[in-house]
Structure 1
Amino acid sequence: MEFIVDYLDFWKERYISILEYTYQHLVMSVISLLLGILITIPLAILLTRLKSNFLKSLVFNIANVFQTIPTIAMLALMIPILGIGMKPAVTAMFLYSLLPLLRNTYTGIKSIDPGVVDSAKGMGYSAFQSLVKIELPLAMPYIMSGIRVTSVYIISWVTMAAVIGAGGLGGLIISGIGFNNKYLIFTGTILAIILAVGTDLIFGRIEKSRNKNRRKTI
């Protein structure tokens, strides 16, 4: 009971700074995810049109290299290039988002029955119309799954961005460790978990809703 009372007092004193750290965390996560989506979906579409297996392998291998670099090492590598703060943190998270988004979008489009695409061409659809009206809607479950997984990963990884001065909920955790403040550590950890789980649930509902509408349409 004493812990709860003290913790409520802690929130009353620190709620403005806690909300600021949470806002920073969300901004970095959202920007990283949006950049990843804007880059990988067109790139994945382009890869499905390429006949060169070498180029496909090259792109996926490069994305895979970024994925294998430990988070703390990736952030450290950003410092000589972009300095410290939010910019290198967002860049690092963006690089981490490439592989899962690229792989899921590519797999989703390639999994479509070629007969469906040929039928669309037979109906007079242009390549662009076929892509927008047939291929992307059919590949959407894969794409949404990639976005869902990546968003959770990014929210978790962004907690490490505090080590290069980018803020976010990791800032609360690091401050808590430095000052031996259990309330700071607990708050930063719990809020990061809530953001990750909440994001997963939201994208899960969107994914289920789209799949339900897709089945009705079929």
Structure 2
Amino acid sequence: MEALSSWFTYVSANIDYIWESTLAHARISLIAVALATVFSITLGVIVQRRPLARTIVLTAAGILLTIPSLALFALFIPVFGIGNTPAIAALYLYAILPILRNTVTGLDSVSPAVVESARGMGLSTWQQLVKVRLPLAWPVIMTGIRVATLLTVGITAIAVLVGGDGLGTYVQSALTRNGLPNATEQLYVGVVFTVALGLVLDLVLAVVQRFTTAKGLRL
């Protein structure tokens, strides 16, 4: 209980700085996910009906996800310098696979009969995509976006190692000050608020998913 009380005391005394770091953490994560969403959905639509291209891009995206986080962050330092930009670039690459895979899977799940009916009604290929295929695939795509967001929020904690902002600053400070006053409290601030941020963003996206999904497709 004493440790918990000490943690709450630390949080209360530093809430403004913690809130600022949390917002910076969210901003970095959401920028990366937004960029990855636009790219992945577009690429998914392009390759979904092209088996060879689809295999190549999914394999490439999977390979990117296997690169150690710190190594990938460091690769962008010569290009962008230190700060948030190399972190966003690396996070963007990590976020591609879940969204891309779910875009392809979602489009695959659309019944050919439904597409054929849309074609019979005179809808062009573009109209079929926008009015039929993407809306029907949207719940699966949103699931990919939510997974990518959770993944990105967790990895963003490493951004501090390339000069970025976010809650990782508390984890780094705790590790470098191990054994000193408030080190443990700082560590738990970094961990607890990162987890809380991920859960909040996932909840927000769940609400967005519900209100942007056709009523007949809602669970």
TM-score, with length taken from structure 1: 0.90
- Of 133, 137, 141, which residue of structure 1 is paired with 2:139? 141
Residue 32 of structure 2: SS of its match in structure 1?
helix
2:158 and 2:113 mapped to 1: Cα distance? 46
Structure 2, gaps ≥5 residues long: none
Paired position in structure 1 for 2:25? 25
- Of 197, 200, 203, which residue of structure 2 is paired with 1:198? 200
1:133 and 1:8 mapped to 2: Cα distance? 50
Paired AA for residue 32 in structure 1: A
Deviation at 1:197, TM superposition (A): 2.0
Paired position in structure 2 for 1:92? 90
1:215 and 1:99 mapped to 2: Cα distance? 24
Paired position in structure 1 for 2:36? 36
Residue correspondence of structure 1 range 84-123 to structure 2 within 5 A = 84-123=82-121
Paired position in structure 1 for 2:188? 186
Once superposed, what is the RMSD of the aligned Cα atoms?
A: 1.9
Deviation at 1:212, TM superposition (A): 7.2
Paired AA for residue 197 in structure 1: L
Cα distance, 1:44–1:33 mapped onto 2, change above 3 Å: same
Structure 1, gaps ≥5 residues long: none
Residue 76 of structure 2: SS of its match in structure 1?
helix
Percent pairwise identity: 35
TM-score, with length taken from structure 2: 0.90
Deviation at 1:196, TM superposition (A): 1.4
Bigger helix share = 1
Paired position in structure 1 for 2:162? 164
The answer to whether the 8 Å contact 2:22/2:197 transfers is no
1:56 and 1:8 mapped to 2: Cα distance? 50
1:166 and 1:77 mapped to 2: Cα distance? 14
Deviation at 1:126, TM superposition (A): 1.0
Residue 112 of structure 1: SS of its match in structure 2?
coil
Paired AA for residue 23 in structure 1: L
Aligned residues: 214
Matched, 1:7 2:7: yes
Deviation at 1:16, TM superposition (A): 2.1
1:62 and 1:215 mapped to 2: Cα distance? 31
